[in-house]
């Protein structure tokens, strides 16, 4: 196959994305799974794939003709001493090389373009499904989703390299066999019969290779997910002194990935080695028989040279065919992995009902994760504080209100403005209820671009008010670049407190009717925390007649901060998944000893 065997998709080394490990809503959803994704890839690239495959087939035919041309030159020009025939033959050989080179370069260009374009389309499609407001029903972790949207998208596109390689290799084998048939029937039959036998033996081991490649990719994806979670949670881990435990967990996942990869590589190596050896023995046998025929005078010296050349050449396409099951196994495993996301059902329904201008947030008898029969109501214009004695209750409440929980995944009802959250038009639901989680990230760009990310039409005055209310104005005013202060990915260039304040400013600028803030001040000092508490109250609820013209916004503060709870109209105390106490901050601090221990520590 010449140069075709060294380029293209890459080896099936078992690394990268994971396989369809049965988690999530993917291939089991009845939408085609990995096989359907592969078929779609071939269908939407059929134009470039067809042209590229045809050109690579021409390249293989031309390469097959090279030993034929050399044999003719030896037999008809060199042996006879015919100078004119030699010149013409050399020119013909040069033209043949020109054809095979041009066909290879143009064919490879079509194939590589199709592969890269398909990988791009898959990356965009997977990212779109992951980021879609309705969410995606899968329990793949964030690190695994990252692997699916990158490595698996690239490896699934290998199918566009596998097909041309298989077709070109088969063309080379058939062309060689036909040429040998013309020279001598037994030699041609040896190749025509031997090639299918070798391919049949290869297919016997293909399922084993696929299973091992699938397991290796799944283990690698789990290790990638563990690494992503470890890096993103490095600061809290350091605070808890849990670095060693986390590192040990990652070493275990990485070791499992290594063992699975080596297991798959061992199977692939044995398979390829055996196949190549058998193919080489076939070629050597053909060359040996041809030599015997030449000694008997059954074929000419020129034909012997052709046969020997073809027997050497045919080793490469047969070797390519031997390697293709590994490529195909990797592409199929990645396609199955992609199907876990692309075939998954949406997490929440689309909804169609609209909301009134003033909305009430109400949870009735809600059970979700650690929540058990929770009742909670927040009226328009009310600032409600929520103190959870158990962190898991706070996490569950914030996640439930985010709108990323399917209706059948929780008990009870969650309504906004009297309408079930699942029945609200998705755009209105996202605009009406905004949850700012405890762990939030910033995007690469500037402070200004992060603050206005959800409110691109906000004017300078509105931005300034949000910055002031969140105390992020200090971050802007302390730097010469102001709002143009660069921010690296995930806000790594800012301190924890700065990131928290910029993210809070972004949430406040949205002016969502219902804003849920989960521990928005854990990384700031007490003075800044007091300023933020007053800023939130003033901006959203018009304390003392400032900022907000009327009390129309509803704010829920899930926190144990005394400064934030002090500005709340009332505070709900959660324990064992339900509301156990209710009152103002001052009343609870006076009457509830447990409340004092948690809040006034």
pLDDT, tens digit, 9 for 90 and up, residues 527-579: 999 999 999 999 998 754 444 445 578 999 999 999 999 999 999 999 999 99
Whether 207 shows a pLDDT value over 70: the answer reads no
pLDDT for res 23 = 38
Tell me whether strands 361-368 and 578-583 are parallel, antiparallel or unpaired.
Answer: unpaired
Residue-level pLDDT at 545: 41
Q: Which residues of 82-104 are buried (b: 16+ CB within 10 A; e: fewer)?
A: eeeeeeebeeebeebeebbeebb
Q: What is the pLDDT of residue 139?
A: 76
Q: Does the pLDDT value for residue 168 go beyond 90?
A: yes
Average pLDDT for residues 94-105, to the nearest whole number? 91
79 contact partners, CB below 8 Å, separation of at least 6? 301, 302
Question: pLDDT at position 16, please?
Answer: 36
Question: In the prediction, which pLDDT does 189 show?
Answer: 73
pLDDT value at position 123?
94
Give the CA dihedral 105, 110, 114, 115, nearest 10 degrees.
-20
Find which of 282-286, 430-434, 506-510 is predicted with most confidence, using mean pLDDT: 506-510
Cα–Cα dist 403/120, whole Å: 30
SS3 435: strand
Per mean pLDDT, which range of 193-202, 310-319, 445-454, 482-491 is the poorest? 193-202
- 169-173, 307-311, 585-589: range with lowest mean pLDDT: 307-311
Q: How far is CA 295 from CA 71, 114, 284, in A?
A: 16, 50, 17
pLDDT class of 253 with cuts at 50, 70, 90: confident
Q: Residue range 406-420: average pLDDT?
A: 88
Rounded to the nearest 5 percent, the helix, strand and coil shares of the chain are: 65, 10, 25
Please state, rounded to an integer, the average pLDDT across all residues of the chain: 81
Question: Where residue 404 falls among pLDDT bands split at 50, 70, 90?
Answer: confident
pTM of the model: 0.64
User: What's the rounded Cα separation, in Å, for the pair 588 and 570?
Assistant: 10
**pLDDT grade, residue 368 (50/70/90)?**
very high
Mean predicted confidence (pLDDT) in 71-79:
69
Residue at token pair 């004695």:
389
CA gap 416, 404 in Å, rounded: 15
The per-residue pLDDT for 451 is 93
Long-range contacts, 491-494 (Cβ 8 Å, 24+): 491/441, 491/442, 491/443, 491/450, 494/442
* Burial group, residue 579, by CB count within 10 angstroms (0-12, 13-18, 19+): middle
Reported as a pLDDT band with limits 50, 70 and 90, residue 160 is: very high
Q: Whose CA is closest to 569, among 580, 546, 553, 593?
A: 553
Give tens-digit pLDDT for 456-477.
889 999 999 999 999 999 889 8
Residue 585 pLDDT grade (very low, low, confident, very high; cuts 50, 70, 90): very high
- What digits encode the pLDDT tens for the residues 306-324? 777 777 777 778 778 777 8
Is-contact 466 538, C-beta < 8 A?
A: no
More confident residue, 13 or 482: 482
- Cα of first residue to Cα of last residue in the chain, in angstroms, is 75
pLDDT on residue 221 = 67
pLDDT value, residue 30: 42
Asked whether the beta carbons of 558 and 394 are under 8 A apart, the reply is: yes
* Closest alpha carbon to 339 in 349, 331, 348, 351: 331
Report which of 597, 568, 570 is spatially closest to residue 581, judged by C-alpha positions: 570
**Helix (H, G, I), strand (E, B), or coil: what is residue 521?**
coil
CA 100 to chain centre: 38
Q: b/e string for 401-437 if b means 16 or more Cβ within 10 A?
A: bbbebeeeebebebbbbebebbebbbebbbbbbbbbb
Q: What is the mean pLDDT of residues 47-59?
A: 95
Task: Please state the length of the chain.
Answer: 601
Angle at 309 between CA 305 and CA 314, to 5 degrees: 150
Are the C-beta atoms of residues 396 and 404 closer than 8 Å to each other? Answer: no
Percent of the chain with pLDDT over 70: 79
**What is the rounded average pLDDT of the residues 397-408?**
87
């Amino acid at each position: 196959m010449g140069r075709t065997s060294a380029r293209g998709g890459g080896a099936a080394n078992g690394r990268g994305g994971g396989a369809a490990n049965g988690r999530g809503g993917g291939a089991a959803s009845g939408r085609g799974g990995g096989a359907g994704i592969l078929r779609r890839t071939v269908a939407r690239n059929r134009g470039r794939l067809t042209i590229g495959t045809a050109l690579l087939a021409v390249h293989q035919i031309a390469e097959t003709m090279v030993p034929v041309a050399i044999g003719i030159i030896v037999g008809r020009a060199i042996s006879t001493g015919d100078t004119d025939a030699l010149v013409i033959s050399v020119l013909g050989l040069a033209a043949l090389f020109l054809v095979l080179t041009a066909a290879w370069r143009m064919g490879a260009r079509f194939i590589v373009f199709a592969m890269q374009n398909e990988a791009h389309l898959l990356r965009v499609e997977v990212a779109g499904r992951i980021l879609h407001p309705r969410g995606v029903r899968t329990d793949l972790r964030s690190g695994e989703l990252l692997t699916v949207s990158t490595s698996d998208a690239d490896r699934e596109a290998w199918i566009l390299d596998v097909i041309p390689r298989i077709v070109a290799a088969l063309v080379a084998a058939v062309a060689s066999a036909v040429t040998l048939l013309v020279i001598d029937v037994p030699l041609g039959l040896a190749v025509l019969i031997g090639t299918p036998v070798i391919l049949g033996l290869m297919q016997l081991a293909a399922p084993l290779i696929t299973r091992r490649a699938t397991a290796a990719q799944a283990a690698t994806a789990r290790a990638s997910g563990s690494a992503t979670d470890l890096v993103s949670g490095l600061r809290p881990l350091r605070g808890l002194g849990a670095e060693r435990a986390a590192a040990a967990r990652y070493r275990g996942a990485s070791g499992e990935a290594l063992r699975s990869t080596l297991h798959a590589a061992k199977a692939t190596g044995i398979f390829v080695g055996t196949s190549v050896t058998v193919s080489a023995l076939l070629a050597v046998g053909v060359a040996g028989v041809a030599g015997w025929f030449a000694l008997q005078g059954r074929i000419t010296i020129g034909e012997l040279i052709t046969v020997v050349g073809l027997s050497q050449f045919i080793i490469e396409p047969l070797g390519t065919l031997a390697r293709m099951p590994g490529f195909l196994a990797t592409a199929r495993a990645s396609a199955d992995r992609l199907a876990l996301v692309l075939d998954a059902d949406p997490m929440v329904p689309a909804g169609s009902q609209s909301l009134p201008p003033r909305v009430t947030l109400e949870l009735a008898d809600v059970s979700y994760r650690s929540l058990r029969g929770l009742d909670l109501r927040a009226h328009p214009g009310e600032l409600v504080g929520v103190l959870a004695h158990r962190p898991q209750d706070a996490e569950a409440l914030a996640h439930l209100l985010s709108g990323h929980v399917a209706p059948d995944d929780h008990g009870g009802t969650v309504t906004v403005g009297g309408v079930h959250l699942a029945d609200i038009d998705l755009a209105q639901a996202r605009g009406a209820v905004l949850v700012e989680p405890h762990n939030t990230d910033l995007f690469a760009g500037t402070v200004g671009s992060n603050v206005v990310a959800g409110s691109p039409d906000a004017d300078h005055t509105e931005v300034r008010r949000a910055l002031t209310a969140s105390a992020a104005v200090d971050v802007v005013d302390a730097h010469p670049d102001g709002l143009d202060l660069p921010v690296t990915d995930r806000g790594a260039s800012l301190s924890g407190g700065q990131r928290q304040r910029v993210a809070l400013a972004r949430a406040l600028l949205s002016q969502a009717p219902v804003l849920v803030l989960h521990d928005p001040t854990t990384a700031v000092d007490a003075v800044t925390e007091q300023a933020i508490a007053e800023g939130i109250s003033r901006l959203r609820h018009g304390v003392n007649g400032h900022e907000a013209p009327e009390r129309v916004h509803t704010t829920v503060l899930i926190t144990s901060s005394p400064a934030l709870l002090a500005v709340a109209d009332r505070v709900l105390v959660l324990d064992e998944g339900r509301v156990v106490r209710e009152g103002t901050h001052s009343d609870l601090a006076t009457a509830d000893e447990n409340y004092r221990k948690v809040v006034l520590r």
